[in-house]
């Protein structure tokens, strides 16, 4: 969860010692202009309606500004871009040629592609809208000496407002006489309410937990602290990395495709082709080359990955974040609730005289509010510790009077009566400096002050406990109880696993430097923990290099402002790192949106969840590690798809270029069958539009199941290397491309029954018609594409990693469909007068199985060439001292098994079972220890002066 902001109250939190340097930070950091200060000189009657109207017209409404895009225009924008434009041109040409089947097929592709992409973006939430939900809708304001309830949006600077228990603060306000307890956790991340008194600033959207006070509005709308946070959120515009990668390789293929098709168009026209038909041919080639369904397939694969993340209690709000999470190098983690439990724990206490741990927790618990909504975190911690760790039975004691915590006194006090003995006494707990003053012994004061300082240096917050007889102010100090937020059981091991994944975890906390260092020490996180002002000085002085070096070498920062989370994230991104940021409050929203991957942890505010790309529904850092592990699996699958799709485009582009430019069936081959010449051959060899579309659909829908493929997770962060990707894809293309060309030439040479080709004669295969050759090439391309996919999915031999069953099944089904299409070709809609396009014809089963066998031979050659190419690339990169990203060490299958951790690391069934067993064990303990409290009378004996074992605390030698 988010940490304490430096925007702290100038009063101590309940019972807790605070850093004196933080007490007046509100006044130091919240600066008001002279004009604002003058307008805030509002009398008891409030400002006039005229003044309010004038200031409203000048400053605008007290609300967050938001830029909204027209939903219709946003939807239509998904049908515009490099790929959609090519499709629109192709659609227009097919209409002009009256080729309605091709028109329908292309329209279906266009509409389907656009809708899927639109739906993905539509699922993303609106961070600004979520921020608005936290604002007050009404406010009680005094104008012209009359109180009235108005819309909060109508407030202006200088308005006198009333704030009471339960109110959401409607604007940034400066308090009048008195004090309030304010819950500003959504803004600052502080888990405890803070005390605000006269002249302190309270922030818009924080909540009043105690008190009733008048205040003057200091800032409204976008000028408030809340508004500035929303401005940062709204100012961050990011495009998913996966979209950038798709755009890059698509543009490369489109440019390459346009160059090749331009040459093809010139050649076909020189051969006497029709203009419209030649343009249609070129568009068919472009459609087969460019990855039309890349966005659709990637969306499907990422969606499958999103469902896997849900199993690990992580929800992907942006699908592109899954790929980016795989490349995370820096994890900026807040402390409270993520590294720690966000639950106060009492450490072994410091005791005076012969008081025991049971004594101090008994008296501290009796001085606490035992139940109810007003019970704060400290009272809850003390009472739970007393009951669970010391088996103290509070039911034996009757509370005759309870004085709750007061911002002035800074302590609680209870008057107690023992139900069994009737003895009466009183006990108190509170801020150490206050409890110290209750003692009349200077030596005790010095001793306790020294202990408070020592505990503060270790990051502990302390409360003092004292005891007195009824109607006696001679307080006896029992001791000190140090409180802290302990690390989660699994955090230390999780950080170790993060290091195994080559992640750098850096703690970002609003807590004091002492607390941050203590937590870092316990977790072996590192010793380089700095106050944020060290970074702030370097950043604001313009020494960017110093700021860069500082954040790279630091293990964490303490006393962090919300805006500095944003800046630290920006620094890492400027250095080329992929950054993940965790957070839970409104104050974290800008940084969460700025980060490559914003992670809203369990229990986050609406604003944090809306700004984040990953939302966790389970506490702890281990959830993030599991999510990164899963994301790297998804990355491998996406990388396999891109490798395959690029290779396929290169194969088809090379095939069409060679067959159209070099091979002219009419000039170099003859067709003679059944005693007569065949119909006139075309000037160029071209597959029909329907054949190309069928191949594309078969392969893209098969590729959608790559999301279920079995992969091994890399130890290093994953990043797309387009250069290496294109090299390997080109190598993968050589063997099948060579096989298609060879098969085409052999088939064309086997059309004439008067002089059949000797190669096919050896297999006793009858001659081909031209229409059959079209089907043969269709089948060879379809089958070879599945082979390319099988080879592209591994960096070693294709059998080195078994197939995920959905992918294997889809490849088998796709191959069967292609084979049946070849044996029973159903689509014949070609223009009979065309010089280029011809109908296809079914081929015999013998010819069909021959083509399948032919493709298998070239698939083996393809896989051999891939393995050799990868070995060469790896050696080249090793010599340069770089990482190719192709292969490398992998995490073992047991990586996600944690040897430490609490119930949160068990599944729900085991957790329920364990809780039941614990309840039974607690019942047994109660029965076995019924006589434990028989010794508690010694406290009352001491109060009455009867117990010789309790020596006087007044004796200096015992202190």
Give the other-Cβ count within 10 Å of 764's Cβ: 8
Choose the catalytic residue: 167, 183, 334, 485: 334
Whole-angstrom distance, CA of residue 327 vs CA of residue 626 = 14
CA distances from 406 to 69, 409, 413, 467, 535 (A): 50, 5, 10, 19, 37
The answer to whether 767 and 750 have CB atoms below 8 angstroms apart is yes
Length of the chain: 959
Q: Which helix (H) or strand (E) holds 160?
A: strand 160-164
Q: What angle do CA 252, 255, 260 make, to 5 degrees?
A: 120
Secondary structure (DSSP) of 188-251: H--SS-EEEETT-EE-TT-EEEE-EEEEEEEE-GGGSHHHHHHHHHHT-----HHHHHHHHHHH
Residue with tokens 């600052």: 188
- Is 334 marked active-site? yes
Strands 212-219 and 614-616: unpaired
Strand segments (E) across 271-356: 314-316, 330-333, 345-346, 350-351
The angle, 0 to 180 degrees and rounded to 10, between the axes of the packed helices 275-289 and 622-661 is 150
CA distance to 81, 139, 559, 593, per residue, from 569 (Å) = 31, 37, 16, 10
Residue with tokens 């010793």, as numbered in its chain: 527
Tokens for 454? 């020592």
Distance CA 606, CA 628 (A): 23
Locate tokens 């940062």: which residue?
232
Q: What is the rounded CA–CA span in Å between residue 686 and residue 683?
A: 9
Contact 658, 741 (CB under 8 A): yes
β pairing state of 579-583 and 597-600: parallel
Could you tell me which residues are beta bridge partners of residue 530? 557
The alpha helices in 461-613, defined as continuous H runs, are 491-500, 513-523, 532-540, 544-553, 562-574, 589-594, 606-611
Pairing verdict, β 579-583 and 330-333: parallel
260-268 long-range Cβ contacts below 8 angstroms, 24+ apart: 260/285, 260/289, 260/653, 260/656, 260/657, 261/285, 261/286, 263/657, 263/661, 264/656, 264/657, 264/660, 264/661, 267/660, 267/661, 267/684, 268/660, 268/683, 268/684, 268/836
CB 654 within 8 A of CB 737: yes
Helix-helix angle 357-366:377-390, to 10 degrees: 140
Q: CA-based angle 859:863:869, to the nearest 5?
A: 140
Nearby residues of 337 by Cβ (< 8 Å), 6 or more positions away:
1, 584, 601, 602, 603, 619
By three-state DSSP, how is residue 455 classified? helix
**Collapsed DSSP state (helix, strand, coil) of residue 76:** helix
Q: Read off the tokens for 284.
A: 């068919």
Asked if 288 and 261 touch (Cβ cutoff 8 Å), the reply is no
Q: Are 518 and 529 in contact (CB under 8 A)?
A: no
Catalytic residues: 334
């Amino acid at each position: 969860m988010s940490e304490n902001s430096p925007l702290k109250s100038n009063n101590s939190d309940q019972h807790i010692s605070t850093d004196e340097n933080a007490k007046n930070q509100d006044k130091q950091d919240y600066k008001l202009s002279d004009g604002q200060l003058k307008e805030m000189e509002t009398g008891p009657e409030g400002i006039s309606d005229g003044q309010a109207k004038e200031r409203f017209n000048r400053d605008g409404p007290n609300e967050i500004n938001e830029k909204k895009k027209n939903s219709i225009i946003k939807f239509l924008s998904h049908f515009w871009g490099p790929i959609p434009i090519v499709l629109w041109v192709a659609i227009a040409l097919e209409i002009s040629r009256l080729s309605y089947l091709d028109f329908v097929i292309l329209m279906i592709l266009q509409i389907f592609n656009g809708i899927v992409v639109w739906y993905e973006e539509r699922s993303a939430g609106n961070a600004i809208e979520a921020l608005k939900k936290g604002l007050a809708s009404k406010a009680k304001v005094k104008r012209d000496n009359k109180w009235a309830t108005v819309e909060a949006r109508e407030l202006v600077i200088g308005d006198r407002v009333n704030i009471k228990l339960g109110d959401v603060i409607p604007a940034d306000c400066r308090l009048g006489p008195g004090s309030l307890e304010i819950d500003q956790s959504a803004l600052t991340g502080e888990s405890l309410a803070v005390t605000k008194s006269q002249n302190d600033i309270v922030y818009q959207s924080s909540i009043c937990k105690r008190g009733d006070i008048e205040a003057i509005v200091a800032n409204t709308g976008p000028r408030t602290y809340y508004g500035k946070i929303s401005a940062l959120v709204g100012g961050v515009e990011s495009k998913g990395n996966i979209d950038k990668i798709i755009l890059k390789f698509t543009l490369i293929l489109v440019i390459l495709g346009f160059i090749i098709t331009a040459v093809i168009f010139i050649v076909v026209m020189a051969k006497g082709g029709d203009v419209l038909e030649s343009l249609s041919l070129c568009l068919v080639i472009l459609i087969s080359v460019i990855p039309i369904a890349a966005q659709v397939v990637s969306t499907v694969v990422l969606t499958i990955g999103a469902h896997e993340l849900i199993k690990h209690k992580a929800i992907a709000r942006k699908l592109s974040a899954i790929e980016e999470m795989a490349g995370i190098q820096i994890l900026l983690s807040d402390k409270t609730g993520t590294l720690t439990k966000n639950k106060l724990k009492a450490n072994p206490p410091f005791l005076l005289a012969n008081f025991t741990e049971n004594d101090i927790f008994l008296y501290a618990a009796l001085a606490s509010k035992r139940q109810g909504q007003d019970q704060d975190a400290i009272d809850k911690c003390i009472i739970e510790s007393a009951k669970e760790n010391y088996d103290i039975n509070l039911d034996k004691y009757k509370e005759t009077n309870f004085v709750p915590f007061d911002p002035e006194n800074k302590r609680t006090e209870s008057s107690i009566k023992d139900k069994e003995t009737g003895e009466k006494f009183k006990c108190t707990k509170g801020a150490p400096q206050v409890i110290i003053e209750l003692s009349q012994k200077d030596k005790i004061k010095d001793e306790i002050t020294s202990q408070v300082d020592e505990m503060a240096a270790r990051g502990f917050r302390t409360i003092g406990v004292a005891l007195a007889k009824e109607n006696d102010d001679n307080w006896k100090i029992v001791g000190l109880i140090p409180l802290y937020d302990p690390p989660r059981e699994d955090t230390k091991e999780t950080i170790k696993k993060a290091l195994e994944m080559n992640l750098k975890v850096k703690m970002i906390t609003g807590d004091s430097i002492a607390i941050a260092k203590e937590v870092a020490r316990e977790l072996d996180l590192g010793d380089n923990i700095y106050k944020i002002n060290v970074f702030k000085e370097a950043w604001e002085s313009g020494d960017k290099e110093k700021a860069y070096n500082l954040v790279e070498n630091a293990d964490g920062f303490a006393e962090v402002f919300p805006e500095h989370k944003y800046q630290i994230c920006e620094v890492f991104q400027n250095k080329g790192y992929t950054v993940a940021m965790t957070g839970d409050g409104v104050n974290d929203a800008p940084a969460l949106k700025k980060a490559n991957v914003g992670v809203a942890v369990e229990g986050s505010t609406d604003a944090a969840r809306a700004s984040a790309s990953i939302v966790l529904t389970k506490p702890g850092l281990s959830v993030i590690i599991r999510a990164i592990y899963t994301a790297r699996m998804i990355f491998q699958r996406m990388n396999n798809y891109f490798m395959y799709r690029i290779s396929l485009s290169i194969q088809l582009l090379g095939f069409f270029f060679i067959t159209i430019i070099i091979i002219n069936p009419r000039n170099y081959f003859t067709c003679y069958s059944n005693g007569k010449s065949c119909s006139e051959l075309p000037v160029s060899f071209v597959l029909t539009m329907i054949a190309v579309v069928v191949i594309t659909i078969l392969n893209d829908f098969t590729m959608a199941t790559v999301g279920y493929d079995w992969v091994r997770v890399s130890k290093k962060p994953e990043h797309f290397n387009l250069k290496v990707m294109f090299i390997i894809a080109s190598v993968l293309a050589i063997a099948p491309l060579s096989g298609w060309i060879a098969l085409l030439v052999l088939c064309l040479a086997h059309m004439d029954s008067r002089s059949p080709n000797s190669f096919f004669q050896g297999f006793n295969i009858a001659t081909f018609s031209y229409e059959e050759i079209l089907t043969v090439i269709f089948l060879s391309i379809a089958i070879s594409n599945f082979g390319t996919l099988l080879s592209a999915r591994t960096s070693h031999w294709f059998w080195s990693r078994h197939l995920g069953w959905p992918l294997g099944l889809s490849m088998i089904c796709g191959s069967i469909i292609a084979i049946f299409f070849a044996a029973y070709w159903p689509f014949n809609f070609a223009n009979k007068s065309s010089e280029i396009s011809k109908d296809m014809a079914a081929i015999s089963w013998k010819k069909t199985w021959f083509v399948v066998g032919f493709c298998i031979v070239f698939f083996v050659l393809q896989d051999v060439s891939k393995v050799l190419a990868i070995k060469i690339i790896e050696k080249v990169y090793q010599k340069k001292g770089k990482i190719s990203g192709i292969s490398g060490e992998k995490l073992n299958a047991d990586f996600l098994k944690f040897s430490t951790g609490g119930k949160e690391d068990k599944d729900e069934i085991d957790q329920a079972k364990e809780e039941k067993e614990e309840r039974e064990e607690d019942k047994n303990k109660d029965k076995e220890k019924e006589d434990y409290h028989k010794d508690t009378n010694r406290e009352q004996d001491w109060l009455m002066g009867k117990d010789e074992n309790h020596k006087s605390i007044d004796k200096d030698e015992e202190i």
